[in-house]
Each structure stands twice: as structure tokens, then as C-alpha cells.
């Protein structure tokens, strides 16, 4: 049976920090990243691709704000904005990937699935919103909107007087239509799913699916998807070629190979940045816990070069 890999595209795979975010920029970045996945297909892997949506859904939320304030267009809730971003980004990835495969003479079906992800209605995170979304406001405007809409705002960590809305980030429990994702992938189709961590939903007491005004960590949702479809390998593509311990300190050290126990120990010691690398490490460990063979964190454009990337397995590779 062919190996199945889940590849999570980080934000920089689609949009760089120094860019405006034009469609030309995003399409070129996406194409460059997807070129690095071709070798997996040539090696016989089946693929599921997930992706982030931070900048894109942020722009959608700002368009929401502008439409309401200027043209009195009713705002759409956060779950609909996440769905919008999944459709737009998924379309872009699918179209760029079809062109990349054409260039390499590879014939594959590619399908984008708008994906709901189940969270707990009473997840503890719902009581402590922490994920910043949308545009920045000054305190006066933030207070006005908070009083009008009930939104919660927090000041920027930069202490620059800017306030942004914060929403909960609950833990993903189940990928809706995960059986469909696995079936299509194992048949050889490339599936683009669970974009932006998925559209957060919960089941009410009658079993009906309801929207959750929250966002889900993309890497945790990708790891969950990988585990539940029995993927062999999980790749997180980001902007660094390796995982480091004591990052940016005199005793900084590259870790190319890690086992589960040592990685967990480093995580508990706070060796990984809580706002950047720690969530990725947690996702990699969760994939291994669910039976995955290997998790890899590497730079988006160095995936094909096996000398790069941090490989995490249950036991050290021999």
C-alpha cells in the first residue's frame, strides 16, 4: 500500500511578511511551495494538503468591517469567514497544483473540501479567548464595538495602543467527513482539506451541528486529521529549516532527529517558543501518539532535501 502523508502548508507558504498580499504574490508563493511536493508524488506517496488562513481570514474580517461601516452590509460570522477563506485558498492551491503537475507530466485528480471540524461546546478555551483576529482599533473604538457587539478585545503585545478582537481557540475533536478524505486520498486523489484549522462547529443536545465563534489551531487540526485517516507521515512546512532548542541563545542547538520522550521533555522545559514553535511541536507529538510513523518540521522550500528538517519519531531513527 502506498504511504499516505499529510502536508500542512504554513502561512509563509502562501504569503510572506514583507508582501502586500496581492493574488499574484500568493499564487507565486503557492506555486513555489507546491513544486517541493512533487518528489513525494514521484516517490509514490498519496497526499492530503492542509493550509493556514491567518492573513486571508483577517482580510475577510476587515472587509466585513468596511462593508458594514461604509455600505451597511450585514457582517458575516466568523465561521462563514473561515469557510470563505477555505474556498478561496483551496481554489488557489488546487489551480496552482494542477499547473505544477502538468509541468511535470503527472496526472492526478485534485479536490478541495470545505471542512468542518468538531469542537466541544464547553471546551475550557471558550471561557478564555486568546486568538487575535481582524483589524486593530484604538481603545475608544474597541470599547464602542465591544459594547455594541459583545466582542472581547485585548491590547497588542507590543503595547502600542492597538487593540484587536480575541476569540477562543478550542481543541479539535473530530474532522467532519474524515472518511471521505481518507477514501479519496487512498484512491490516489490529492485532497485539500481542513484549511485554517477547519470551520469550528459543535453538536447541540439534539445532535444538530451549530457554528462556534472561534478558530482552531491549523497544525493541531492537521495532526488530528492525519491520525484519524491513518497517515504514515506528517509534514509541517514553515519558515525555518530545523527545530532548535534554546533558540536565539548562546547555547542554541539544532535538533535534526528527536524521539517522542526527548521532545516532550524539551517542550515541558519551555525550550520551544510558545507563540510559534511550541504549537507545532505539540501537533507533531499528537500525530505520533495516534500511531503516525514520523512528523517532520522543515522549511517550505527544502522539503525535498532530506538533510534539512527535524524528524520526530516514537524512537530514534536507526
pLDDT in tens, 62-97: 899 899 989 999 999 999 999 999 999 999 999 999
**What contacts 286, CB < 8 A, 6 or more positions away?**
220, 223, 224, 227
Domain ranges of the chain: 4-120+177-313
Lowest-pLDDT choice from 156-160, 164-168, 187-191, 306-310 = 156-160
Contact 170, 125 (CB under 8 A): yes
pLDDT of residue 318: 62
Residue 267's nearest CA partner among 293, 239, 286, 248 is: 286
Task: Please give the positions annotated as active site.
Answer: 11-12, 131, 218, 280
pLDDT of residue 62: 87
pLDDT band at 160 (very low <50, low <70, confident <90, very high): confident
**4-120+177-313: which CATH topology?**
Carbamate kinase (3.40.1160)
> How do strand 233-238 and strand 4-9 relate by DSSP bridges?
parallel
CB atoms within 10 A of CB 71: 7
**Whole-number Å distance between alpha carbons of 318 and 310:** 15
Amino acid at each position: 500500500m502506498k504511504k499516505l502523508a499529510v502536508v500542512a502548508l504554513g502561512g509563509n507558504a502562501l504569503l510572506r511578511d514583507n508582501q502586500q498580499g496581492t493574488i499574484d504574490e500568493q499564487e507565486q508563493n503557492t506555486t513555489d511551495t507546491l513544486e517541493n511536493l512533487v518528489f513525494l508524488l514521484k516517490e509514490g506517496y498519496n497526499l492530503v494538503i492542509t493550509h493556514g488562513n491567518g492573513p486571508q481570514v483577517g482580510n475577510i474580517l476587515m472587509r466585513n468591517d468596511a462593508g458594514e461601516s461604509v455600505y451597511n452590509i450585514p457582517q458575516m460570522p466568523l465561521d462563514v469567514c473561515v469557510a470563505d477563506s477555505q474556498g478561496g485558498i483551496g481554489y488557489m492551491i488546487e489551480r496552482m497544483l494542477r499547473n505544477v503537475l502538468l509541468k511535470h507530466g503527472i496526472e492526478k485528480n485534485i479536490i478541495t473540501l470545505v471542512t468542518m471540524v468538531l469542537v466541544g461546546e464547553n471546551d475550557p478555551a471558550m471561557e478564555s479567548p486568546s486568538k487575535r483576529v481582524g483589524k486593530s482599533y484604538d481603545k475608544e473604538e474597541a470599547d464602542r464595538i465591544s459594547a455594541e457587539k459583545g466582542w472581547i478585545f485585548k491590547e497588542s503585545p507590543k503595547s502600542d495602543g492597538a487593540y484587536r478582537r480575541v476569540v477562543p481557540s478550542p481543541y479539535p475533536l473530530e474532522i467532519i467527513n474524515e472518511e471521505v478524505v481518507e477514501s479519496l486520498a487512498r484512491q490516489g486523489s490529492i485532497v485539500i482539506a481542513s484549511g485554517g484549522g477547519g470551520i469550528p462547529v459543535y453538536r447541540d443536545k439534539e445532535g444538530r451541528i451549530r457554528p462556534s465563534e472561534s478558530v482552531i489551531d491549523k497544525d493541531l487540526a492537521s495532526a488530528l486529521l492525519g491520525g484519524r485517516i491513518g497517515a504514515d507521515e506528517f509534514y509541517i512546512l514553515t519558515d525555518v529549516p530545523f527545530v532548535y532548542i534554546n533558540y536565539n541563545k548562546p547555547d542554541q542547538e539544532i535538533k535534526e532527529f528527536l524521539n517522542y520522550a526527548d521532545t516532550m521533555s524539551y517542550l515541558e522545559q519551555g525550550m520551544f517558543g510558545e507563540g510559534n514553535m511550541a504549537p507545532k511541536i505539540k501537533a507533531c507529538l499528537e500525530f505520533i501518539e495516534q500511531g503516525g510513523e514520523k512528523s517532520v518540521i522543515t522549511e517550505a522550500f527544502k522539503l525535498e532535501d532530506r538533510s534539512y528538517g527535524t524528524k520526530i519519531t516514537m524512537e530514534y531513527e536507526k
